[in-house]
Amino acid sequence: MLASIEKIQFKCLILKENSNDDCSLLIQKYTMRILDGKGLNDCVCGQSKRMPNCDGSHKQIAKAL
């Protein structure tokens, strides 16, 4: 499950829209869900309209970069 947390950290680095503080808060918020085996599809960019789940909104941010 640690790999999932590393994936969130990597996504935060890619999505420059969020500051490092925002990413740290997201990681802290979802760590227990990930370690429990839940939340593997949680939004980490903060743009999803289906929180806490990812709806692919990060793809629009990535295209804008």
pLDDT at 37 over 80: no
Cα atoms in the 13 Å half-sphere on the side-chain side of 26: 27
Give the confidence band of 34 by pLDDT, cuts at 50, 70, 90: low
Q: Identify the pLDDT of residue 63.
A: 66
Per the DSSP assignment, residues forming a β-bridge with 53 are: 42
What b/e sequence results for 11-22 when a residue is b if at least 16 CB atoms lie within 10 Å of its CB, and e otherwise? bbeebeebeeee
The pLDDT of residue 56 is above 80: yes
pLDDT above 70 for 43: yes
Give Cα 49 to chain centroid, integer Å.
13
Q: Token pair for residue 46?
A: 């903060």
pLDDT of residue 5: 62
Query: Whole-model pTM?
Result: 0.41
pLDDT exceeds cutoff 80 at 27: no
